[in-house]
Structure 1
Amino acid sequence: MAIKDLNHFLTDYFTAHDCQIIHNQNGVATVQLNEKMDRALMNRPFYWHYIKKMGHNGDPMSLTLITNPNKQDEKGEWIHFGSPRLQQIFTHLKNNEKYTKLFQQINTTTRTPLHPWLVINMKISYIGKQKKDEIISIGLHLLSGMMKPNMMEHLEQLPLQLTISDYCFTLSPLIRIKSGFLRIESVIDQHIQKQSNEWADDSLQTLTEEMNMLKHFYHDTDDETRANQMDKELKEINNRYQPTITYEVINGGIFYLAEGAIQ
């Protein structure tokens, strides 16, 4: 269910934002940004303010993104779950393109119904001694209730557009969006419960060891100031190592697709 191919995700992301993929081979992709994406990702507000004030078009930068672990030594940015650049891209998607409505492009001369799908892309964060993020994409058919994992991989195979094609019409959902979202949340919860708890056990073991070590350091102290300092440090250790799981919506939307488009 998780998005495993970061290279594919990144090239799709930049292509969707009208950026040219100059090179893409063996997990190393070079992308020529356009002005909009340079402004969004490269943190050069003063450059763009100056260049526009001078009446020039500007020179957007390029990015080389490395997702292949064997290519980390090459010139570029090493991208992995948790890397600052990937988090920046997630934030950009979250803030600017969190929700959408798209229609499958259909070439037809007869009336064709399009079925509503609720699609949610979710980031699960396993936080403890170490942090791991997982991206899950789920589609829910709002007529039958059927769910489809890896939904984005299926959507990538379909031509999608912002407007409905001629002779097509949409079917009204039988499942409300709020109810559909709760169903998807339930699937996410089940997925989390099936995961190994080894990471949490490791975090709890380290938590116990760190707390015991700290208590031993402050052993036999009656000084109120030192006791307060110990309590403060115990809380910091607990916050650092206590295993927690959170999830948040990266983006989602309603997709109107032809019957049988998702198998």
Structure 2
Amino acid sequence: MEQQIDLSAFLTDYFETKHCTILSKEKGQIHIQLTEEMDKELMNRPFYWHYIKKIGREGEPQVLRLITDKEKASEPGEWIHFGSPRLHQIMNKLMDKERYTRLFEQVHTLDNTPLYPWLVSNIKISYRGAQHKDEIFSIGLQLLHGHMSTNMMDYLEAVPLDRTISDYCYTLTPMIQPQSGFLRIQNVLLQHVQNQDNAWAAASIKQLETEKTTLKHFYEDEPDHPRYVEELEALEKRFKPTITFQVINGGIFYLTNRQLE
């Protein structure tokens, strides 16, 4: 399974949707002029904006330079990657404000045109252990015939969408209920996880056992010491391998009958 979301494309879409200006975009770098709203959301400058408003002046939103290529991480700017605080911040904003939606493809037609229901889910898979890794997938499931697309956001980039249906268009009733559809999407991602090399999990368990042996040595005379129990729990939390799934956002999209890859 491929189709992990391209981070650079995702960030570009995100900031353009928020009406920010992309000043420049090179390989591994995005230069963004924030709006006042996005500056307030992302840049943590409440005192600046409070002062500006108090004296009746127009504020100056900051420019954000994001580096998505690890090889350029030493260049001026902020390196953003899966697992970085900045990306978590953006994901949390999406989850808080735009988690679910219902949109219609905009169609200019004088003929009766059916729109097919698609369940779209953007989902983050987090691998936690001695090392951390995140993957983000965008999957769409047509709720009439069950066709699935594993790069849905890439496809939707070129589709004009609105919250209201176009004239002469009508929606088709789903044959697959959204709950059942989401289980199909979940099964695809579970299969993806099962196909991954689990060497990272074995390495995490090995490191956990090593750390527990070392800790036990320090408390061998006081095995019931509260501090020992506390540190043991901390080691388990830090090194025990876990995999979690988190829905970032999604919704029902009504689209014309095009064949998706």
Shorter-chain-normalised TM-score: which range?
Answer: over 0.9
| Corresponding residue for residue 144 of structure 1 | 145
2:48 and 2:149 map into 1 onto residues whose CA distance is 45
Q: 1:256 to 1:247 in 2, by over 3 A?
A: same
Q: Distance in 1 between matches of 2:256 and 2:200?
A: 42
> Is the Cα–Cα contact under 8 Å of residues 94 and 250 in structure 1 kept in the other structure?
yes
Question: Which consecutive unaligned segments of at least 5 residues does structure 1 have?
Answer: none
Amino acid at match of 1:48: W
Going from structure 1 to structure 2, the CA distance change for 1:208 and 1:56 (only over 3 Å counts) comes to: same
TM-score (norm 2): 0.94
Q: Does 1:90 align with 2:98?
A: no
Is the 1:218–1:230 Cα contact (8 Å) retained in structure 2? yes
Q: CA deviation at 1:140?
A: 0.7
SS of match in other structure, 2:173: coil
Amino acid paired to 1:28: Q
* Aligned CA distance change for structure 1 residues 199 and 224 (closer, same or farther; 3 Å): closer
Equivalent residues of 1:126, 1:246 under 8 A apart? yes
Residues matched between the structures, number: 260
CA-based RMSD of the aligned residues comes to 1.6
Query: Using the alignment, how far apart are the partners of 2:56 and 2:127 within structure 1?
Result: 48
Distance 1:165 1:224, change over 3 A: closer
Structure 2: unaligned runs, 5 residues or longer: none
DSSP 3-state at the match of 1:246? strand
- Residue range with higher mean Cα deviation, 185-194 or 87-96: 185-194
Mapped to 2, the partners of 1:69 and 1:48 lie a distance apart of 33
Distance 1:234 1:175 in 2: 47
Cross-structure match for 1:254? 252
User: C-alpha displacement at 1:224, in angstroms?
Assistant: 6.5
For 1:171, the equivalent position in structure 2 comes to 172
Structural mapping, 1:6-21, within 5 Å: 6-21=7-22
Indicate the SS of the match to 1:64.
strand
3-state SS, counterpart of residue 248 of structure 1: strand
- The answer as to whether partners of 2:121 and 2:139 remain within 8 angstroms in 1 is yes
**In the aligned structure 2, how far is the partner of 1:117 from the partner of 1:146?**
9
| Partner in structure 1 of residue 215 of structure 2 | 214
> Secondary structure of 1:157's partner?
coil
Greater shift in the superposed pair: 52-61 or 180-189: 52-61
Cα distance in 1, alignment partners of residues 10 and 78 from structure 2: 15
1:71 offset after TM fit, Å?
1.6
Q: Check whether the contact 1:2–1:134 (CA below 8 A) recurs between aligned residues.
A: no
For residues 47 and 102 of structure 1, the distance between their equivalents in structure 2, rounded to whole angstroms, comes to: 37
Q: Does 1:74 align with 2:75?
A: yes
Instruction: Work out whether residues 28 and 64 of structure 1, in 8 Å CA contact, stay in contact via their aligned partners in 2.
Output: yes
Residue 234 of structure 1 is matched in structure 2 by: 232
